[in-house]
């Protein structure tokens, strides 16, 4: 494996890690009004089990997105210049959702009235749903192929996004992240809240599986994804379906750890589908062809310098994540502090 492929794998690892960790943040935010408040707490503060579950982690999880962006800028500058400018509206929408959602989570506890809390609640849900849908739209566009110009640039318009394939990818991702968040809340919360989260999670997984059938059918009829490696893509799609089924079974039988592991696998597989399904292309054009990994990557001397930093940086990120999970292990409840 050469340095270019190694760094592409690292780029995919960081994005997949963010989908797992940031995905349950988005899901918990979307489920926040539906899980209800924790009955063990005082009614005047109206805390919520979904927010308590993600409270120690939700800002730290953004480290994976920052690391992904850093690798994209440093190792694949030609891809970054083309991709971020072409997907500019969706990237801005994702950042707006992140800022609004994070701010609303932290400011909700300062509201002095029920109406004020409801307004913050609406922003929390919006801040989770908007990035979740937009990430799904980005995946849909990358799977289908982008409208590249002769100079290699591209720009998406409403006609590129508002297609059955891309929209169904956005909805599937949002439902998957919501189910992933439900599995995480079930894993972290006291028994009553876990029971409610399991019910919502199982329902959302069935909905995600049903909606995911549409992009699959469109692809089979030639109106969906343009995959370069069809056998690999078929295997990854089958694994995605198996992960959804395993997660549903685990939630239905109260196996929280297994359910969260299965939804984590389901969140990772779309990233693998884009990377492995299109390889050696990193960006596929809807008209055919695209940008190869060699065209996207920086020169080998720069990659060697970046490798020295990556050898140190990646273990630090992994160690930080493991440490935070260890420190804040255990379920929320009466004896667990309410961070908001």
User: Across-strand partners of 283?
Assistant: 291
Give the SS3 label for residue 273.
helix
DSSP string of 198-235? HHHHHHHHHHHHHHHHHHHHHHHTTSS---S-HHHHHH
Between the alpha carbon of residue 273 and those of residues 97, 173, 221, 239, 297, the distances in Å are: 25, 13, 19, 10, 20
Check residue 41 and give its pLDDT: 42
Asked whether residue 42 carries a pLDDT value surpassing 50, the answer given is no
Residue 338, pLDDT > 70, answer: no
In a domain? residue 238: yes
- H or E element that contains 142: helix 114-144
- As a whole number of Å, the CA-based R_g of the chain is 20
Residue of higher predicted confidence among 202 and 327: 202
In a domain, 337, yes or no: no
Q: For 238-247, what is each residue's pLDDT tens digit?
A: 999 999 999 9
Domain for residue 282, yes or no?
Answer: yes
Closest CA to 28 of 6, 1, 56: 56
Nearest in space to 201 (alpha carbons), one of 273, 284, 266: 266
**What is the average pLDDT across 147-173?**
88
Residue 94 lies in a domain: yes
The answer, yes or no, to whether residue 61 has pLDDT greater than 90, is no
- DSSP state letters, 41-65: S-TTT--BHHHHHHTTTTTTTHHHH
What average pLDDT does the segment 129-137 reach? 97
Q: Which helix (H) or strand (E) holds 284?
A: strand 281-284
CB atoms near residue 214 (< 10 Å): 17
Structural domain count of the chain: 1
Q: Is residue 200 part of a domain?
A: yes
State how far the Cα of 115 lies from the Cα of 63, in Å rounded to an integer: 33
Distance CA 57, CA 86 (A): 31
pLDDT of residue 287: 77
Specify the pLDDT at position 96.
96
- pLDDT greater than 50 at residue 79: yes
pLDDT class of 92 with cuts at 50, 70, 90: very high
CATH of the domain at 215: 1.20.1630
| Helix 230-252 vs helix 191-220: crossing angle, to nearest 10 | 150
Domain assignment present for 46: no
How does pLDDT run across 171-199, given as a tens digit for each residue?
999 999 999 999 999 998 888 888 999 99
The pLDDT > 90 percentage for the chain reads 57
Asked if residue 273 is part of any domain, the answer here is yes
DSSP-based three-state secondary structure for 146: strand
- Average pLDDT (81-86) is 87
Confidence grade of residue 336 (pLDDT, cut at 50, 70, 90) = low
Nearest residue to 286 via CA among 163, 131, 136? 163
Whether residue 340 contacts residue 105, with contact meaning beta carbons closer than 8 Å, is answered with yes
Res. 45: pLDDT tops 70: no
In which domain, by residue range, is 275 found? 3-38+60-327
Instruction: Note the pLDDT of residue 172.
Output: 97
* Cβ burial, residue 65 (10 Å; 0-12/13-18/19+): buried
Could you tell me if residue 250 is inside a domain? yes
SS3 assignment, position 2:
coil
| pLDDT exceeds 90 at position 23 | yes
């Amino acid at each position: 494996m050469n340095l270019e492929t190694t760094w592409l794998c690292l780029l995919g690892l960081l994005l997949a890690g963010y989908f797992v960790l940031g995905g349950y943040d988005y899901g918990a935010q979307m489920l926040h009004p539906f899980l209800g408040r924790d009955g063990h707490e005082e009614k005047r503060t109206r805390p919520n089990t979904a927010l308590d579950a993600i409270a120690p982690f939700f800002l730290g999880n953004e480290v994976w997105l920052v690391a992904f962006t850093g690798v994209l800028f440093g190792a694949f500058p030609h891809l970054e210049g083309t991709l971020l400018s072409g997907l500019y509206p969706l990237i801005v929408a994702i950042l707006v959702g992140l800022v609004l959602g994070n701010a609303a989570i932290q400011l909700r506890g300062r509201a002095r009235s029920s109406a004020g809390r409801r307004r913050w609640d609406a922003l929390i849900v919006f801040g989770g749903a908007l990035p979740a849908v937009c990430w799904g739209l980005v995946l849909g566009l990358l799977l289908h192929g982008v409208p590249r110009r002769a100079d290699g640039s591209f720009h998406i318009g409403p006609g590129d996004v508002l297609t059955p394939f891309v929209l169904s990818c956005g909805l599937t991702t949002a439902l998957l992240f919501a189910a992933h968040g439900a599995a995480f809340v079930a894993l972290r919360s006291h028994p009553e809240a876990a029971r409610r989260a399991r019910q919502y999670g199982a329902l959302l997984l069935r909905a995600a599986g049903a909606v995911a059938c549409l992009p699959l059918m469109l692809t089979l009829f030639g109106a969906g994804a343009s995959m370069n490696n069809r056998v690999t893509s078929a295997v990854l799609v089958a694994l995605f379906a198996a992960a959804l089924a395993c997660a549903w079974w685990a939630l239905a039988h109260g196996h929280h750890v297994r359910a969260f592991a299965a939804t984590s696998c389901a969140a990772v597989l779309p990233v693998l589908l884009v990377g492995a399904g299109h390889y050696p292309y990193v960006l596929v054009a809807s008209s055919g062809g695209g940008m190869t990994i060699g065209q996207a990557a920086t020169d080998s001397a720069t990659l060697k310098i970046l490798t020295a930093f990556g050898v140190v940086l990646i273990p630090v990120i992994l160690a930080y994540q493991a440490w935070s999970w260890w420190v804040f292990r255990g379920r929320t409840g009466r004896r667990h502090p309410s961070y908001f």
